[in-house]
Chain A
Amino acid sequence: MTDAVAATPQVAHKGKDTAEERVSYLRAGHSLTSWLTTTDHKRIAILYLVAITGFFFIGGAAAALMRFELISPHGMVLSNEGYSRAFTMHGVIMVWFFLIPSIPNTFGNFLIPLMIGAKDLAFPRLNLASWYIYVLGGCFTLYALVGGGVDTGWTFYTPLSSMFANGHVVALIAAVFISGFSSILTGINFIVTIHTLRAPGMKWTRLPIFVWSHYSTSLILVLATPVLAITLVLLAAERLFGVGVFNPALGGDPLLFQHLFWFYSHPAVYIMVLPAMGVVSELVCAAAHKRIFGYAFVAGASLAIAGVGFLVWGHHMFVAGESGLAATIFSFLSLVVAVPSAVKVYNWTATLYKGDISLDPPFLFAMGFIGLFTVGGLTGLMLAMLAIDVHVHDTYFVVAHFHYIMVGGAVSAFFGALHYWWPKITGRMYSLTWGRIDAALIFVGFNLTFFPQFILGYLGMPRRYHVYDPSLQVWHVMSSAGASILAVAYILPFIYLYAALRTAKPAGPNPWGAAGLEWTTPSPPPKHNFEGPVVVTHEAYAYENAPPPRERQ
């Protein structure tokens, strides 16, 4: 285990006594103002958690509306345009207001300084500013939603979005544009923090995989997000002023929009899944009570995914008008991404081999992630092949594929992270039984919702339609039934996690018997994270020195 011992006193900050340092971050102030003006990364993480949870349920409500509508092949409650607006809201909110910030801005924010032995992120005020920017973007989204929504789909393809779509297109792209700055500032903060604020002895090779994943994610946040920003600016200029860049009638070219959009939006998938992979690496090691197998390969795989991820955007455009040569190269590079992804999956499996495994909720969520991510990844390989992609392009096969990655993968990992670090964040342990039930419900509900969509897609059901051939109804009903299980499984943690806050016993600093700097400090951590100066003397995942898990103590 990495030690937090007072070996060499560091430069002390003025005006601080040791008693103040020991107060838990949750007790450092109780007023609303103390939360809204905080620069403590742990409190900002909680602010993000509250905000993204709100958006998760708004986006989820749109999904519930769609699944309800699709029970009948003839449509029940929504007009064609109403259905288009529902899936656009679902997509925009889930991608930009839940998935992109989900793990980085909550758990990354909370844990990166704790994991590297720092007092805070490098730029604490910038961190708070990024939350306000996110909320401002969220306000624009809510305005567009209340104003009736937008029917372009989350991809905002031109010239539909720039010339023909009704609704608050400009408000919604303004929302996405604004939230992008929140992403960029967070990415800068993470990279600078990891470079400059590692505790003495915390070498790069001792960083937890979670930190490596967030480093890779941050590179994408900083370098890809501005390309989306300029794309949306050009789109707004075309819609508002008729400055033709993407519309052929004005001298533009719609393919230019697709290239720029996917240059961001494909790496954006890795913004969602790389932090999830970081979470799963921590969860697997904690469950197996072992050092991760092949540390250097798992860490390097994150960087490889981030790097190659910049070069695969063309696979979204195989049928949009791309040269055969370009399509072949993009196809090949997309297949290449599977290599570092598989390295991770194999290394997690190898970590578990002969491990001393605890079947705690975080581990069950991690197993759910590995299974669902593997299915999503393998169908991704199918979609990367030109002939298959032409067959299933714009069908439910694609919808099912990316939900396996983004919901089965990223959201499972998000819940896994919530269950793993909840005792650290709140100081309270929840009901493990309910946690296990919830992990199982999410896995079952997810597969029932999305596996039928692979079949639907292969049978030719196009995405974005709410009226379909009655022969396909059985698969749609199955999917909607699964969605209702999923809805219960997503709401359930609210009850038992909230109950834990009220009634549960203190969790103690290290309930899972995990290695890692964040488990050496009290739960919840003091305002400045550690009670004394931190000096790291061990490698990452030094499980030979970790205490046994709580239930075996």
Chain B
Amino acid sequence: MSEAASKGVTLEEPFARRDQQREADFLGMYLFLASEIMLFGGVIALLFADRFRHPGAAEQAAARLNLMIGTANTVILLTSSLFVALAVAAARAGKARAVTGWLIGASLLGLAFLGLKGVEYAEDLAEGIRPILGRATPGALFINLYFTATALHAIHLTVGIGLMGWSAARVGRGRVKVPNQSIVIEMTGLYWHFVDVVWVFLFPFLYLPRH
């Protein structure tokens, strides 16, 4: 990397070169996301086991979920990921205002997802789809896993919205300079894409096993 391009990039202590530091940042983030995938993998494995052993009950329970809201949320989240990809491209091109704009847009879409999810939870509860059943009914395990998986996803989504808001503010105030420090936007973006990808798997496993 030329000296001009890396100007302003802080070289942290153990690293001797900037490309080495960049490689380490990416590898560290990918490993962290791999461990996150294993976290969600535990719930998804239980969903598979439940559906394998009690296909009828699982499918009946899945059919009670709100497919419209689930689909709308999928579209919203995929769009937000596009915005984040555009923010990363803008960061690499050094367009600070565009970075802030795309990140704020993606954050708003994330908030829209959470709002719709809240509406959906309220409707679920009103229709008697509750995590606390207190007794064994067919489909109870599926419903409990639905609530656990989506709540866990919502927590990660909230963290992601916080990260994007914080990054947008730092770029907006000039604390983070693009393109030199676009690593901040790239890492935030990777995390958001991960949150999106988890939903891309949860959506079919939770909402689509009907008929």
Contacts and interface: CB of A to CB of B under 8 A. Distances in A.
A196 interface: yes
Contacts of B27: 191-192, 195-196
Given A196-B23, A245-B148, A225 B131 contact: no
Contacts of A39: 13
A243 B141 CA distance: 9
Interface residues of A, number: 49
Contact of A226 (B16, B20, B42): B42
A120 B2 CA distance: 25
A124 B13 CA distance: 8
A231 B133 contact: no
A430 to B, nearest CB: 31
B37 to A, nearest CB: 8
A230 B13 CA distance: 34
A241 B130 CA distance: 12
A227 B17 contact: no
B39 A245 contact: no
B32 A251 contact: no
B119 interface: no
A11 B17 contact: yes
B159 interface: no
Interface residues of B, number: 42
A242 B131 CA distance: 8
A463 interface: no
A17 B17 CA distance: 19
Interface stretch (B43-51, B71-79, B108-116): B43-51
Contacts of A245: 46, 141, 144-145, 148
Contacts, number: 135
A481 interface: no
A260 B46 contact: yes
Most chain B CB inside 10 Å of its own CB: which residue of A230, A237, A242: A230
A191 B23 CA distance: 12
Nearest to A245: B144
B35 A250 contact: no
Nearest to B36: A226
B41 interface: yes
Contacts of A10: 16
Contacts of B15: 122, 196-197
B136 A248 contact: yes
B135 to A, nearest CB: 7
Most chain B CB inside 10 Å of its own CB: which residue of A192, A260, A263: A192
A119 B16 CA distance: 9
Nearest to B42: A230
B39 to A, nearest CB: 4
B39 A119 contact: no
Given A10-B16, A227-B42, A251-B140, A242 B132 contact: yes
A146 interface: no
A10 B15 CA distance: 10
Contacts of A263: 42
A118 B147 CA distance: 46
Given A11-B16, A227-B42, A234 B135 contact: no
B141 A251 contact: yes
Contacts of A260: 42, 45-46
8 contacts: A120-B13, A184-B32, A187-B35, A192-B27, A233-B148, A244-B140, A252-B144, A260-B46
Interface of B: 11, 13-17, 20, 23-24, 27-28, 31-32, 34-36, 38-43, 45-46, 49-50, 53, 131-137, 139-141, 144-145, 147-148, 152
List 4 A-B pairs, minimum CB-CB distance, nearest first.
A251-B140, A230-B42, A226-B39, A120-B14
Given A11-B17, A196-B27, A251-B133, 13 more contacts: A122-B24, A124-B13, A191-B31, A195-B24, A196-B15, A197-B14, A197-B24, A225-B35, A227-B41, A229-B39, A230-B42, A230-B43, A231-B42
